Amino acid sequence: MTRSPRTIAAANGIGRDAAFGAVAPPLHLASSYTFAGFERPRTYDYSRAGNPTRDLLADTLAQLEGGAGAVVVATGMAAVDLVLSRLGPQDGVVAPHDCYGGTHRLIAARAAKGQFKAAFVDQGDAAALEAALAARPKLVLVETPSNPLMRVVDIAAVAAAAKAAGADVAVDNTFLSPALQQPLALGADFVVHSTTKYLNGHSDVVGGAVIAARSEDAAALAAWANITGVTGAPFDAYQTLRGLRTLFPRIERQQQSAAAVASFLARHPQVAAVHYPGLPSHAGHALAKAQQRGFGAMLSFEIAGGTPAVRRFVEAVRVFTLAESLGGIESLVAHPATMTHVGMGAEARRIAGITDALLRLSIGLEDERDLVEDLAQALGQAEEAGDR
């Protein structure tokens, strides 16, 4: 019987405990497992290689993304790195010029060591992508919507162009989760997640996952994750699975509030620009509508008044919290230039269009009226502090 993604998220693995009939899947913390006898290993022997709790999370994620298998690792960065581990010194990766700062830093650092060749490209610019693909890279990494500018990339178009050039495509689906976007169905070969964000959703676990379209790729990645020892901790997998149960209702509610916040900001005189794909004025609106099942709960905006206004705004918020990360039940504000994207360096930020006036919001589950009221009062204070 095929089950809907909502059912998979809410109930995969429920009531299947063979030992005691526990309804909630048990947490298996053991680091090693007995052999049944000489040369008779059981399903599991050592938790770095395989663990029932982590495997249940991997199975749930693979089903939600429509993949053949998944590997759960310690962090989102480890997930990005696991996909990059497929590349050798002669291979190339085409990455987005405005991706998450940590991804940019990782790719630049490994390329500088000669571990592969990297090109950072505006993937919304078809000519630039075509030029990068002419070098026959092995992998194209897509992040859509991008962090923090919320640019939307056409996954199906990039996948078709990449396939024609002999490249695999990996999509970082952290910003939307499989509840709102399924890149494998659009032609991607891999999906990458920072499960730290919407999948866990409660800001109390750092984790990552790679989901592969093909079972042989999933097996190869699982083997490499065991060799390098980046597999995720069982307790983290347990917590993440617990958070995942409510993924759909959380993100659906959060994106409703995000839409309200975006339309409030778009009308505010202290706001120079709003980046939210749900706004009809957003350059990626039509594409987002076509390839996503919702516009998500992340947005960014440019505040007028320079650094004094930025400083006053982040000091004035009361319902929002000044912190990195995203996708949790609480609303956060981050200043990418000094926080999430500081590792990219000023020049790469300039090329990507990440200005010092940009603020990123992750919308949580608070009442949207409180969120809008908080932004209104903080913008009012920023206006008084701003450059004139």
The Cα–Cα gap between 242 and 214 comes to: 27
Asked if 206 interacts with ligand PLP (CB under 6 A), we say: yes
Count of residues near ligand PLP by CB under 6 A: 16
**Cβ proximity of 169 and 159 under 8 Å:** yes
Comparison of 296 and 305: residue with beta carbon closer to ligand PLP: 296
Among 25, 183, 208, 328, binds ligand PLP (CB under 6 A): 208
**What CA–CA distances, in Å, run from 156 to 127, 144, 153?**
16, 12, 9
Among 172, 236, 368, 383, binds ligand PLP (CB under 6 A): 172
Asked if 182 interacts with ligand PLP (CB under 6 A), we say: no
- Residue identified by tokens 């919308």 is 363
Quick note: the x/- pattern for ligand PLP over 20-59, rule CB under 6 A, is ----------------------------------------
Active site residues: 48, 100, 172, 197
Task: Find the radius of gyration of the CA atoms of the chain.
Answer: 21
Asked if 123 interacts with ligand PLP (CB under 6 A), we say: no
Name the pairing type of β-strands 92-96 and 117-121: parallel
Comparison of 194 and 257: residue with beta carbon closer to ligand PLP: 194
Local structure of residue 190 (DSSP, 8 states): E
Among 53, 60, 63, 196, binds ligand PLP (CB under 6 A): 196
Comparison of 56 and 334: residue with beta carbon closer to ligand PLP: 334
CA neighbor of 157 nearest in space, from 130, 135, 177, 136: 130
Site residues (CB under 6 A) for ligand PLP, limited to 323-362: none
Tell the smallest beta-carbon distance from residue 193 to ligand PLP (Å). Answer: 8
Site residues (CB under 6 A) for ligand PLP, limited to 240-269: none
Asked if 76 interacts with ligand PLP (CB under 6 A), we say: yes
Q: Is 279 helix (H, G, I), strand (E, B) or coil?
A: coil
**What CA–CA distances, in Å, run from 55 to 4, 27, 48, 77, 292?**
20, 11, 11, 20, 27
Among 55, 65, 143, 154, binds ligand PLP (CB under 6 A): 143
The Cα–Cα gap between 222 and 117 comes to: 24
Q: Which two tokens stand for residue 345?
A: 């360096």
| Cα 228 from chain centre | 22
Distance between terminal CA atoms of the chain?
64
Comparison of 184 and 316: residue with beta carbon closer to ligand PLP: 184
Among 61, 62, 71, 77, binds ligand PLP (CB under 6 A): 77
Give the bridge partners for 334, in sequence order.
360
Q: Which two tokens stand for residue 318?
A: 């009361």
Local structure of residue 183 (DSSP, 8 states): G
The Cα–Cα gap between 168 and 187 comes to: 10
Comparison of 122 and 143: residue with beta carbon closer to ligand PLP: 143
Question: Which of 167-175, 215-223, 241-249, 270-278 is the region at the interface with ligand PLP (rule: CB under 6 A)?
Answer: 167-175
Asked if 147 interacts with ligand PLP (CB under 6 A), we say: yes
Among 47, 85, 194, 300, binds ligand PLP (CB under 6 A): 194
Comparison of 193 and 282: residue with beta carbon closer to ligand PLP: 193
Helix (H) or strand (E) holding 252: helix 247-266
List of residues contacting ligand PLP (CB under 6 A): 75-77, 80, 100, 102-103, 143, 147, 172, 174-175, 194, 196, 206, 208
